[in-house]
């Protein structure tokens, strides 16, 4: 696979787009990094560490031009229970280290090929479902209700609520100031792309949204204290008074934990789940890429493996490719992977230099940005297009959407894949396994076996053979077949007994005996 086309932009052409886009991704990533760390029961800065590593390290090593990596909401359950299982966050970091090394091994074994076998309908369903989840999960934050952490994607939340019950509870705890900021932010995001605002596009709309949120809350505090947003509804980044204090936020792994089988089991789990989420996100990001560039899945596993190895050594959460940040990156106009790298640098710089300013940002302003991204991902046009493609595409798409929204990403993808596989098999079974290649009236009918004569063809072969009229002459040729399953060989040879009883002149040509190896090459 290749990572560039002739239409791909050069670095000189793209930096004016990549720099503003990286700023947008930072604003999206910051609360997600903190929220995921909080939900995982890990130190808050561990999410930031992973965000920086996912941006700089993975961004430099990957050849995906638009995917952004960082801590993923899909792994919060594994992290939360994993820390309890191995006994400490330091021991958990040893498992992350193992996971990273295993991902590098997966890359060397070229396991990334799995990513090419995910049906398009399932990937589109994943994108739409994440968009719907963003809308449903961010609405409470837009109303000032923050019982659940930023970045949660699971239907059943850690606070015992679910996605829908949280929507009803938010109406009982509305912060009017937060609603006003969210509405104004959405207006800015929608209007910023209109021709009337063309001259202002040099300033990214999300930056305007953040400044608007900080300014509006300051005005509320000075003039209308009842509208002022409570501190719990602002970004809450740990503050350090000196460079030495920052060092206390980092955690190193407990290498003694490497002797425990629990640590290894957890490391293997992290490697598998993180790799699957990354491959899914990579496929989805490539589909959103306006330049239609295709990424090397094995190279991506290598980049993620190195990233997770460093995350384990430096005190970070597991890193994966993340659709939400990637979608925000694309929507902001990014053109190359330098946007992801710059986002990592900016995230590190902002956290070190201006944490106090970041802590003034209302979550309602950031929620508005994610609501807008969610609408773009789950646009009505995506549903209309899938509907027009027919039932075989629309049903797997819709089932994937519903399954992910009501469970979680990996379970939903598994259900979507099962439904898609059903339609693929149904279509395969409708195709004739024995193709008529010559018909000479009552003299002889010649059939050609397919290139792959697998057990899936048995039903069709059985129907064709049973429909043969008595006294006919039939020849079945396997000259073009490179694989014979034993089931098919047994079926073809056993019919010779039936053919004698029905007075059928039945011949098999270029077909091995059932007792021989079922695979041969011509």
pLDDT at residue number 184:
96
pLDDT at residue number 476:
92
Q: H-type helices in 62-88, by residue range?
A: 76-86
pLDDT at residue number 328:
93
Nearest Cα to Cα of residue 1 among 278, 302, 294, 300: 294
pLDDT at residue number 522:
43
Assigned token pair, 209: 């949204």
Task: Check residue 43 and report its DSSP letter.
Answer: -
- How far CA 432 is from CA of 301, 480, 507, 509, in Å, comes to 40, 16, 19, 19
- Structural domains of the chain ordered from first start: 22-416 (no CATH), 435-509 (3.30.750)
* Residue pair 476/465 in contact by the 8 Å Cβ criterion: no
Q: 3-class secondary structure for 264-325?
A: HHHHHHHHHHHHHHHHHHHHHHHHHCCCCCCCCHHHHHHHHHHHHHHHHHHCCCCEEEEHHH
Residue 373: count of CB within 10 angstroms of its CB: 28
* Residue pair 129/412 in contact by the 8 Å Cβ criterion: yes
* Distance of alpha carbon 142 from alpha carbon 513, whole angstroms: 70
pLDDT at residue number 480:
87
Provide the whole-model pTM: 0.83
Pairing relationship of beta strands 319-322 and 473-477 according to DSSP bridges: unpaired
One pLDDT digit (tens) per residue for the chain, 522 residues: 444 444 566 656 688 889 999 999 999 999 999 989 988 889 888 999 999 999 999 999 999 999 999 998 888 889 999 999 999 999 999 999 999 999 999 999 999 988 888 899 999 999 999 999 999 999 999 999 888 877 777 777 777 777 787 888 888 888 999 999 999 999 999 988 787 777 776 778 888 999 999 999 999 999 999 999 988 899 888 877 666 666 777 789 999 999 999 999 999 999 999 999 999 999 999 999 998 898 999 999 999 999 999 999 999 999 999 999 999 999 988 999 999 999 999 999 999 888 889 999 999 999 999 999 999 999 999 999 999 999 989 999 999 999 999 988 889 999 999 999 998 888 777 766 677 777 655 578 889 988 888 888 888 888 889 989 898 899 999 988 888 888 889 999 999 999 999 999 999 999 998 765 444 444
């Amino acid at each position: 696979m290749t990572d560039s086309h002739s239409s791909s932009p050069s670095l000189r052409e793209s930096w004016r787009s990549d720099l503003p886009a990286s700023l947008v991704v930072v604003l999206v990533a910051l609360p997600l990094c903190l929220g995921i760390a909080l939900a995982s029961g890990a130190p808050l800065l561990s999410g930031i560490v992973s965000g920086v590593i996912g941006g700089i390290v993975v961004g430099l090593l990957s050849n995906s031009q638009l995917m952004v990596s960082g801590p993923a909401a899909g792994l919060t359950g594994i992290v939360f229970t994993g820390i309890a299982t191995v006994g400490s966050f330091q021991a958990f970091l040893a498992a992350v280290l193992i996971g990273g090394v295993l991902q590098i091994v997966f890359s060397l074994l070229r396991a990334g090929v799995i990513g090419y076998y995910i049906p398009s309908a399932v990937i589109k369903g994943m994108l739409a479902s994440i968009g719907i989840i963003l809308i449903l999960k961010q609405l409470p934050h837009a109303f000032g209700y923050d019982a659940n952490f930023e970045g949660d994607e699971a239907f059943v939340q850690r606070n015992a609520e679910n996605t829908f019950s949280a929507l009803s509870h938010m109406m009982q705890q509305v912060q009017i100031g937060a609603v006003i900021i969210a509405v104004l932010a959405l207006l800015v995001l929608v209007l910023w792309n209109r021709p009337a605002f063309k001259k202002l596009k040099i300033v990214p709309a999300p930056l305007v949204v953040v400044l608007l949120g900080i300014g509006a809350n300051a005005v509320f505090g000075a003039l209308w204290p009842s509208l002022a947003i409570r501190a719990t509804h602002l970004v809450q980044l740990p503050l350090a008074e000196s460079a030495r204090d920052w060092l206390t936020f980092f955690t190193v792994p407990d290498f003694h934990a490497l002797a425990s089988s629990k640590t290894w089991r957890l490391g293997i789990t992290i490697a598998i789940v993180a790799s699957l989420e990354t491959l899914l996100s990579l496929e989805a990001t490539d589909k959103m890429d306006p330049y239609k560039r295709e990424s090397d899945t094995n190279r991506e596993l290598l980049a993620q493996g190195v990233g997770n190895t460093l995350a384990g050594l430096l005190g970070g959460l597991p890193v994966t490719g993340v659709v939400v940040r990637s979608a925000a990156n694309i929507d902001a106009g990014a053109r190359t992977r330098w946007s992801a790298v710059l986002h990592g640098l900016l995230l590190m710089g902002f956290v070190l230099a201006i944490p106090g300013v970041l802590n003034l940002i209302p979550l309602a302003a950031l929620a508005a940005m994610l609501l807008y991204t969610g609408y773009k991902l789950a646009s009505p046009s995506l549903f209309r297009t899938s509907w027009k493609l027919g039932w075989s595409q629309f049903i797997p798409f819709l089932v994937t959407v519903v399954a992910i929204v009501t469970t979680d990403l990996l379970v939903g993808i598994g259900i979507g894949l099962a439904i898609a596989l059903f339609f693929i098999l149904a279509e395969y079974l409708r195709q004739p396994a024995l193709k008529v290649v010559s018909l000479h009236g009552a003299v002889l009918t010649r059939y050609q076996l397919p290139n792959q004569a697998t057990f899936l063809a048995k039903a069709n072969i059985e129907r064709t053979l049973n429909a043969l009229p008595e006294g006919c002459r039939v020849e079945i040729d396997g000259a073009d077949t490179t694989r014979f399953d034993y089931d098919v060989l047994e079926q073809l040879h056993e019919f010779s007994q039936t053919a004698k009883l029905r007075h059928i002149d039945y011949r098999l040509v270029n077909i091995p005996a059932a007792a021989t190896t079922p695979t041969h090459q011509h």
